[in-house]
Amino acid sequence: MTKSMTVAICALFSGLLFVLPGTGRAAAHDEVITLDQGWNKASRDLFYHTPQGSPIMPYDWFLALEQPGAQALFRDNAYLESFGMIPWGSSKRNPDGLPIGLTIDKSITGPENQLGMNCGACHVTEIVVSGRTVLIDGGVSHFDFWSFMEALLESLQKTHDDDVVFKRFADRLLGTNADGEQLKGLRARLRGVVQKRENWAIRNAADVVPGPGRVDALNVILNQVTAKMIGRPDNARPSNAPVSLPHLWDAPYLDVVQYNGVVPNAGAGAIGRNVGQVLGVFGEVSIVESILPPGYASSVRVDHLIDLEKTLETLISPSWSDLADKKLLPPLDRKLVAHGAKIYGRECAGCHVKINPRKRGKLASIPVKLIPLKTIGTDPAATLGFVEREVATGPLEGRKTAFVEGAPLCKRTHARARGHLSCGDDRCDEV
């Protein structure tokens, strides 16, 4: 089980570091109960709606888009809730009151506002206790990302292909008096957006339907980096290994993250982890080398990622007692807690270390125990799909693995290559 990342990803990540530019809602936003997890209202607003550089489509277009097969708007909160998204109130960052995780972003190509998505979409959740809705920050969301993307593509295609639907869309954007040239130009631009989303769907085609709260994030990231960004569609692999979205509390304090332990947190690991997340959800990169500043130009908002990561450092796990204090759960029976602690120490602590949520030590200091697949016996698809993946480096061949230093990339590379490379049979092999 490797702790290294694909060398092609390392090359892009290293270059980017130089570029600093519910299932059903039971309560209204102002009635949702929040817990003492180290965040206040400002922290939540930052995490829920800070753009990270993940442009999906023009923002105003999203507000004007209809649901597939209906005249109601796609952005209608009830409709977005059907995908497990959590509606939230408006703020300076979120003037149109979009659900948690949707943002106003920018593209690499111009100043037009874009609809973006950030980590809040997948890592904030709700639970309903005694008929009351409780928000869990950093929890495993119910977001059905795959179905959301399928519906968005269907809506865009319908808007482009159906004259009646397109006219309503154009009227919302341009007004009812738009002339023929304006309509023609809008439709041409719309075709480009449709094609972009179609290409994403083809590149990440899956035989396994993830469902709510699951996604094959690593394959989506790798497809974006090794297939789309370097123009090698043959590097794409099916996104057939969906796993549950992880919770985020304590994440900055672990030495590695991801279920297969492939992403280190120490040093620049945290920013690399977050850049990878951005690239997996629509981040854009130009592989044309830049001299000033050195690196690869991208849509990634590194300054915002730093802000988001600092917010995560203050996030703590929810407690039973906090819910009990709010009369949502019964108080803890201390005798049973003590008895359970002994069982946990005997049966669980060997794999799941006990963490004090308010005294976690230094960042990246808590060792994560990695267990061989033969021992753990879980579905191997996610891990094997990563470590066995081999890709062509394409236009990155010969470039240094860390952009300004490191061994040159060979013609092909794989996840087991750790950066100290020799080229044998045109493949990168570990020295």
pLDDT in tens, 152-179: 999 999 999 999 999 999 999 999 999 9
With a cut of 60, say whether residue 324 has pLDDT above it. Answer: yes
CA-to-CA distance for 263 and 291, rounded, in angstroms? Answer: 28
Q: Which residues contact 152 (CB under 8 A, 6 or more apart)?
A: 56, 57, 65, 74, 197
From 80-84, 108-112, 142-146, the region with the lowest mean pLDDT = 108-112
Q: Are 426 and 410 in contact (CB under 8 A)?
A: yes
Report residue 346's pLDDT band, with 50, 70 and 90 as the boundaries: very high
With a cut of 70, say whether residue 303 has pLDDT above it. Answer: yes
Q: Between 295 and 196, whose confidence is greater?
A: 196
CA-to-CA distance for 261 and 356, rounded, in angstroms? Answer: 22
CA-to-CA distance for 218 and 276, rounded, in angstroms? Answer: 9
Q: Between 373 and 187, whose confidence is greater?
A: 187
Q: Are 428 and 413 in contact (CB under 8 A)?
A: yes
Q: Given the structure tokens 């154009």, which residue do they identify?
A: 170
Question: Quick one: pLDDT at residue 276?
Answer: 82
b/e per residue, 228-251, with b = 16+ CB within 10 A? bbbebeebbbebebbbebbbbbbb
In three state form, how does the secondary structure of 90-131 look? CCCCCCCCCCCCEEEEECCCCCCEEEEECHHHCCEEEEEECC
Q: Percent of the chain scored above 90 by pLDDT?
A: 69
Report residue 281's pLDDT band, with 50, 70 and 90 as the boundaries: confident
With a cut of 90, say whether residue 249 has pLDDT above it. Answer: yes
Q: Between 319 and 399, whose confidence is greater?
A: 319
From 21-30, 64-73, 224-233, 298-307, the region with the lowest mean pLDDT = 21-30
CA-to-CA distance for 260 and 1, rounded, in angstroms? Answer: 7
Mean pLDDT taken over the chain: 87
Q: 403 in helix, strand or coil?
A: coil
Q: What is the mean pLDDT of residues 218-229?
A: 91
Report residue 8's pLDDT band, with 50, 70 and 90 as the boundaries: very low
Is-above-0.85 flag for pTM? yes
Question: Quick one: pLDDT at residue 298?
Answer: 87
CA-to-CA distance for 4 and 414, rounded, in angstroms? Answer: 10
Question: Quick one: pLDDT at residue 98?
Answer: 97
Question: Quick one: pLDDT at residue 426?
Answer: 57
Nearest to 396 by CA among 19, 8, 13: 8
